[in-house]
């Protein structure tokens, strides 16, 4: 700690010296770059000061002006040395002051620790009063915990009894589980058979539906053919009726003509029976050639 305080003091003194150096440079108009030149050396025993590098503005001055400027730069360094010496002399007093300040900071805490037992004696009754509801709360918690422990014991007993019952029920269920497994197997086989039958029935139904559709198409075609045939038959009947009428008319005409011819022949001469029969045959043949076949 002493070394830390000494280091802080040295640091502060260096900062003050740098500030003095910068103020002197600003007053005189000279400039020394911090990265180029270090601190100037102390004067030797012969009293000849060492030369310092300066800016280009002062390079053309005489040697007398350079020595004067060097002496001006040396004065802050000598002042710093003197100040550091005074700080070293004052270091024990500074340490003593720091100790006193630390003791002053620690005194309130020590007084509070000394006064704390008195406060404890004064507030003992209050603490007892504060602890009574806590005690009641603890007692109620203990009673609740005892009740919970009793309930846990009862639950454990019931658990053991239920566990034994479960074991017995499992023993009773084992044959039923075997039967259930066999029934499941049979059920699965029946389901497979049912699915196969459904598949085959669907195929058969599809084929039957196709056959029914073809039959319906054939029925429609047959109906159309029957209608066409009926129409043709009706046309033929109409033709037949007309032909029958024509045949009846021709027969009537032939009969009338035959009767006329017979009357004429009887009126002129009595004909030979052989010749008349031949003539009749010839006439019948001529008439048959005049009319189409199938007409009586």
First to last CA, the chain: 166
**Distances from the Cα of 11 to the Cα of 45, 75, 236, angstroms:** 29, 20, 148
Max distance between CA atoms of the chain, in angstroms, equals: 218
Tokens of 267: 């009126």
User: Which range has the top average pLDDT, 109-113, 195-199, 292-296?
Assistant: 195-199
Q: Residue 247 and residue 245: Cα distance in Å, rounded?
A: 5
**Distances from the Cα of 136 to the Cα of 127, 140, 143, 276, angstroms:** 15, 6, 10, 167
Answer whether 58's CB lies under 8 Å from 30's CB. Answer: yes
Higher pLDDT among residues 57 and 199, named by residue:
199
Q: Residue 279 and residue 266: Cα distance in Å, rounded?
A: 14
Q: What is the pLDDT of residue 34?
A: 40
Q: What is the pLDDT of residue 70?
A: 53
pLDDT tens for each residue of 19-50? 544 544 444 444 444 434 333 444 433 343 34
pLDDT tens for each residue of 144-166? 888 888 888 888 888 888 888 88
Higher pLDDT among residues 178 and 238, named by residue:
238
Q: Residue 207 and residue 200: Cα distance in Å, rounded?
A: 11
Q: What is the pLDDT of residue 72?
A: 52
Answer whether 110's CB lies under 8 Å from 25's CB. Answer: no
Q: Residue 40 and residue 67: Cα distance in Å, rounded?
A: 13
Q: Residue 28 and residue 58: Cα distance in Å, rounded?
A: 11
Tokens 């005049």 map to which residue?
Answer: 290
Q: Residue 14 and residue 20: Cα distance in Å, rounded?
A: 10
Answer whether 17's CB lies under 8 Å from 80's CB. Answer: yes
250 phi and psi, to 5 degrees?
A: -65, -40
Q: What is the pLDDT of residue 263?
A: 84
**Distances from the Cα of 166 to the Cα of 155, 159, 170, angstroms:** 16, 10, 6
Higher pLDDT among residues 58 and 251, named by residue:
251
37 phi and psi, to 5 degrees?
A: -125, 140
**Alpha-carbon 274 to chain mean position:** 126
pLDDT tens for each residue of 183-211? 999 999 999 999 999 999 999 999 999 99
Q: Average pLDDT, whole number, for the chain? A: 70
pLDDT tens for each residue of 222-273? 999 999 999 999 999 999 999 999 999 998 999 888 888 888 877 775 555 5
Answer whether 21's CB lies under 8 Å from 40's CB. Answer: no
Question: Looking at the whole model, is its pTM more than 0.75?
Answer: no
């Amino acid at each position: 700690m002493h070394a830390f305080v000494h280091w802080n003091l040295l640091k502060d003194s260096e900062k003050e010296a740098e500030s003095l150096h910068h103020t002197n440079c600003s007053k005189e108009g000279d400039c020394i770059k911090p990265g180029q030149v270090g601190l100037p050396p102390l004067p030797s025993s012969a009293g000849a000061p060492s030369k310092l590098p300066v800016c280009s503005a002062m390079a053309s001055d005489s040697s007398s002006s350079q020595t004067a400027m060097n002496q001006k730069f040396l004065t802050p360094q000598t002042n710093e040395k003197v100040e550091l010496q005074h700080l070293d002399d004052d270091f024990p007093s500074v340490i003593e002051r720091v100790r006193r300040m630390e003791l002053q900071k620690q005194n309130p805490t020590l007084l509070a620790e000394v006064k704390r037992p008195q406060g404890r004696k004064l507030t003992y009754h209050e603490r007892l009063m504060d602890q009574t509801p806590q005690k009641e709360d603890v007692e109620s918690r203990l009673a609740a915990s005892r009740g919970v422990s009793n309930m846990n014991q009862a639950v454990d007993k019931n658990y053991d009894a239920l566990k034994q019952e479960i074991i017995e029920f499992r023993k009773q269920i084992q044959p039923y589980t075997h039967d259930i497994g066999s029934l499941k197997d049979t059920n699965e086989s029946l389901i497979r058979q049912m699915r196969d039958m459904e598949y085959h029935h669907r195929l058969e139904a599809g084929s039957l539906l196709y056959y029914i559709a073809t039959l319906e198409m054939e029925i429609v075609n047959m109906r159309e053919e029957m209608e066409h045939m009926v129409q043709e038959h009706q046309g033929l009947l109409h033709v037949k009726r007309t032909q029958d009428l024509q045949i009846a008319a021709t027969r009537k005409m032939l009969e009338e003509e035959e009767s006329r011819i017979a009357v004429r022949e009887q009126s002129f001469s009595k004909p030979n029976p052989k010749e008349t029969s031949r003539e009749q045959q010839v006439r019948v043949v001529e008439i048959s050639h005049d009319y189409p076949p199938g007409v009586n």
